[in-house]
Copies of this chain bind each other. A is one copy, B any other.
Amino acid sequence: MHTETATGTVPGVNALIVHAHPEPRSFCSALRDVAVHELEASGATVEVSDLYEDGFVPVLSWHDFTAPVEPAVLRPMEEQAAAVSSGTLAADVAEQVARLQRADLVIVNAPMWWYSVPAIMKGWFDRVLVSGVAYGVGDVKPFTGPLNAKRALLTLTASNEAADFTAERAGTLETVLRPIVHGTFRYVGMQVLEPFVAFGADVVDEATRATYLAAYSARLRELVAEEKTISP
Contacts and interface: CB of A to CB of B under 8 A. Distances in A.
Contact of A118 (B22, B126, B180): B126
A116 interface: yes
Interface residues of A, number: 43
Which secondary structure dominates where chain A touches chain B? loop
A141 to B, nearest CB: 12
A75 interface: yes
A122 B129 contact: no
A75 B23 contact: yes
A110 to B, nearest CB: 12
Contacts of A118: 59-60, 122, 126
Interface string A163-198: 000000111000110111011100100000000000
B119 A59 contact: yes
A210 B125 CA distance: 31
Contact of A123 (B74, B77, B119): B119
A164 to B, nearest CB: 9
Contacts of A119: 58-60, 119-120, 122-123, 125-126
Nearest to A127: B119
Interface string A53-78: 00000111110000000000111110
Contacts of A74: 22-23, 26
B58 A123 contact: yes
A96 to B, nearest CB: 14
Given A52-B61, A114-B180, 8 more contacts: A22-B62, A22-B76, A114-B122, A114-B179, A114-B183, A114-B184, A116-B116, A170-B182
12 contacts: A23-B73, A23-B75, A25-B73, A58-B123, A60-B118, A75-B202, A114-B184, A115-B183, A116-B179, A120-B123, A170-B187, A171-B179
